[in-house]
Amino acid sequence: MGQHGKLAIFGGEQVIPPGTIKPWPPINEVDEKYVLESLRGTNHAFGPNCVAFEKEFAAWNGNQYAITTNSGTAALHMCVAACDCSEGDEVIVTAYSWSSSATCILHHNCIPVFVDIDFDTMNIDVNKIEAAITPKTKAIIVVHLHGLAVDMDKVMAVAQKHGIKVIEDACQAHGAKYKGKKVGTLGHCAAFSFNQNKNLASGEGGMFVTDDEEIMKKARTLWSFGETRTPSESRDYHVYALGWMYRNNDLTAAFGRAQLTRLDMYLDWQRNSAELLTQQLHSVPHLILPTTPDQHEPNWYNYVLRLDMAALGHEADASQFRNKVVRALKAEGVETMVWQSFILPQMTVFQAKNAYGYGSPWTSPHAQPVDYSPEQYPVAQRHCDTHTCLVSSLRYPNGADTIELMGEAISKVMENVDQLEDLAV
């Protein structure tokens, strides 16, 4: 039985005491000041904090234009529309991500085409993108998953060769860099999310960014009812094209602005915490630790562990045994989770090829047949079945003492993993 003794899930002592890991995001007097000033103002819809948030985020990230939205999903849909994707057009996307990375394509009656992932980075396999391009391909959505940037040089070279646009799903990747440049400045346009679990959190909300004025104008039309003028201008209330209501509100934007004042500190803290945890876990058996390729600077939105199922003897029942390990980790006080239990092509909407009824958009006369057989994506499936994520435990104000406890708890489980063999599924 390893050095730590009986696992907590079987009645042993829990390593991390309840309440040790602090909630996210931390709230202080700056947040209260911004939000209360907005609350006491006169415009709680798209107000002055929305305008200021757009300018401040664009300056922070290095973009010419930014449009604040009510979600990262809305910003992604705006990207698809702004890149002139039309009914039946194909958009390439990774086979493993949050559902919005692909459903945003359906929102504009376009057809997702999935590409398998690279196991080491968990991102889209950039060497397989070109083979997925057809005459119907209009754009590529690259997801900087868990805060690690995609190899953008290869993606942009393929896109330029074929004359297609590149959309960055940077919803998890605030401040992540590739060759010294922040994500959101590398493709034609990008989307960020400010959901509560994001590194920049305002409860809900998002941001569309681009350096292209024409792309910005097309996105803004979709963002506000199909109008061409913004709420801060003199509106004519005329619908020029199909539009949604994706605007942010002043209270949420005020919260986002307050959190933005501390974002650089948060990201530095996470990077230091990730380095400390990696040092603690480097010799723990049966773990596959995160990879950081050269010239990449992740933000460590999620710290992802994979289990070496071959060494554990559980390749045949990988997801079931992974779930046992996750239960054991949680019992020790580790705040961990299975982030996504299904690869995207396996989700019902894609298997049924029916998003709106009558098989739409796949039955469009402008679409061509696509195949979503899950066996085409073995690497994504392997990752899906073997991973667990530490989401906010490495974030401010959780310090080195907490990281040490996390390392001890993970080590305890993995050194006594044989105790889980007979644990009921």
Q: What is the 3-state secondary structure (H, E, C) of 171-237?
A: CCCCCCEECCEECCCCCCEEEEECCCCCCCCCCCCEEEEECCHHHHHHHHHHHECCCCCCCCCCCCC
Distance, CA of 420 to CA of 7 (rounded, Å): 9
115 φψ region: left (φ > 0), alpha (ψ -120 to 50), beta (else) = beta
Tens-place pLDDT, residues 230-286: 666 677 778 777 889 999 999 999 999 999 999 999 999 999 999 999 999 999 999
- Any idea what the Cα angle at residue 297 is, between residues 292 and 299, rounded to 5°? 100
pLDDT of residue 3: 46
Query: Kind and range of the H or E element at 414?
Result: helix 400-415
CB neighbours of residue 296 within 10 Å:
18
pLDDT of residue 1: 33
Give the chain's domains with CATH numbers.
29-261 (3.40.640.10)
Tens-place pLDDT, residues 300-337: 999 999 999 999 999 999 999 999 999 999 999 999 99
Helix/strand number for the chain, H first, E second: 13, 14
Tens-place pLDDT, residues 24-70: 999 999 999 999 999 999 999 999 999 999 999 999 999 999 999 99
Residues annotated as catalytic are 198
Distance, CA of 85 to CA of 155 (rounded, Å): 18
Residues across the chain: 425
State the pTM of this model. 0.96
Cβ neighbours of residue 66 closer than 8 Å, sequence gap 6 or more: 54, 55, 57, 58, 207, 208, 209
The per-residue pLDDT of the chain, averaged, comes to 96
Per the CB < 8 A criterion, the answer to whether 167 and 84 are in contact is no
Tens-place pLDDT, residues 340-352: 999 999 999 999 9
Determine the average pLDDT of the residues in 145-168.
98
Per the CB < 8 A criterion, the answer to whether 148 and 270 are in contact is no
Pair of tokens at residue 314: 């559980």
CB neighbours of residue 41 within 10 Å:
14
